[in-house]
Structure 1
Amino acid sequence: MKILVVDDQKEVLDILQILLTAEGYEVILAKNGKEALENLKKMELDLILLDVMMPQINGYQTCLEIRKISNVPILFLSAKSQDSDKTLGYSYGADDYLSKPFSYNELLNRVKALIRRYHVYQGKNKKTSHLKYRNFCFDEQNEIVYKNEERLELTETEYQLFLLFVKHQGQIFSAQHLYQTIWQENYYYGANNTVMVHIRNLRKKIEDDVNHPMIIKTVWGKGYKCDA
Structure 2
Amino acid sequence: MEPLVVLALTLSCLLLLSLWKQSCEKRKLPPGPTPFPIIGNILQVDVKDIYQSFTKLSKAYGPVFTLYLGGQPTVVLHGYETVKEALIDHGEEFAGRGRLPVFEKVSKGVIKGIIFSNGNVWRNRRHLSLMTMKNLGMGKRSIEDHVQEEALCLVEELRTTNHFTTVSNSSGSPCDPIFILACDPCNVICSTILLNHFDYKDEDFLT
- The structure where strand makes up a greater share of residues is 1
Same fold (TM over 0.5): no
Range into which the TM-score falls when normalised by the shorter chain: under 0.3
If each structure's helix is expressed as a fraction of its own residues, which one has the higher value?
Answer: 2
TM-score (norm 2): 0.25
Provide the TM-score with structure 1 as the length reference: 0.23
Higher relative contact order (Cα pairs below 8 Å, separated by 6+ residues): 1
